[in-house]
Amino acid sequence: MNYIRHLNGIFIAFTKDSRLNPTHVSLYWALFHFANINRFPEFFHIDRAEIMKISKIGSKGTYHKCLKELHHWKYIHYSPSYNPYKGSKINLFDFGTSTEQVSDGHRTGSEQALVPNTTIYKQNRNKNENRGKGLPPKNFSEVFDFLKKEECAKNIGQEKLKKEAQKFFNHYSANGWKIGGKTPMENWMPAAENWLLKAEEFENKSDGNEKNGRKDNLHISKSKDYHQPL
């Protein structure tokens, strides 16, 4: 999912849809936040209490009503769970794959016009998207061995790469392999790639974006890849 194209598409859809009220919009952005931190998987499980807290919805009745309506209006696919230990399953339909909407103004999973992947990193990420799911890595060496084969590590020295692999493994081992300390990590490999990319961005900003002791916020050190979650 292209982050920027999707945001543009969903804003246009929201503007044209008179059925929506602020509660629908707030709930959608809470679901979008969960999809983003999980790197936009095909589907993800949600915790009702946490979604209600983020979206500022105080009534369970309102929450379930809006969730079903977003599903019925084809903004999301909602599969309710009746298991108290497993949250409901959500899929966000992609509004960023085309400049035109389908005939009813909303895009469904079978009606998406796919955009070909054009970057090596995107191709590599798709190739690895089903790896790393389930159990976390056994040790930092497994993280290191994975990262040194990836495109995102080609300009990073071995010592730096080993250090970041150790930091990644230590950080998530300490918090039980949860994103933000709350959401269980479904796939550690894309998370490790993202960790390395952000570490490199931070280092570049620290080295090159200061003038006369002040940060130069008008210049960036590298091009942004808007296929990646923020």
Q: How confident is the model at residue 87 (pLDDT cuts 50, 70, 90)?
A: confident
Task: Report in angstroms the alpha-carbon separations of 110 from 13, 18, 28, 93, 106.
Answer: 18, 24, 20, 10, 12
Phi-psi region at 177: left, alpha or beta (left = phi > 0; alpha = psi -120 to 50): left
Q: How confident is the model at residue 230 (pLDDT cuts 50, 70, 90)?
A: low
Of 9, 189, 186, 221, nearest to 90 (Cα)?
Answer: 186
β-strand 178-179 against 183-184: which pairing, if any?
antiparallel
Residue identified by tokens 């969903």 is 10
Structure tokens at 213: 């002791």
Residue 50 main-chain phi, psi, to 5 deg? -70, -40
Asked whether the whole model's pTM tops 0.85, one would answer no
Task: Report in angstroms the alpha-carbon separations of 193 from 8, 108, 164, 168.
Answer: 26, 30, 10, 10
Rg of the chain taking only CA atoms, in angstroms: 20
**Which residue would you say has higher pLDDT here, 102 or 86?**
86
Average pLDDT of the chain, as a whole number: 76
Render pLDDT for 146-164 as a digit per residue (tens, 0 to 9): 888 887 777 788 888 888 8
**SS3 for 87-121, per residue?**
CCEEEECCCCCCCCCCCCCCCCHHHCCCCCCCCHH
Render pLDDT for 150-202 as a digit per residue (tens, 0 to 9): 877 777 888 888 888 899 889 888 888 888 778 888 888 888 888 888 887 77
Alpha helices, H only, 175-187:
none
Q: Is 7 exposed, middle or buried (0-12, 13-18, 19+ CB in 10 A)?
A: middle
pLDDT confidence of residue 222: 58
How far apart are alpha carbons 21 and 26 in whole angstroms?
9
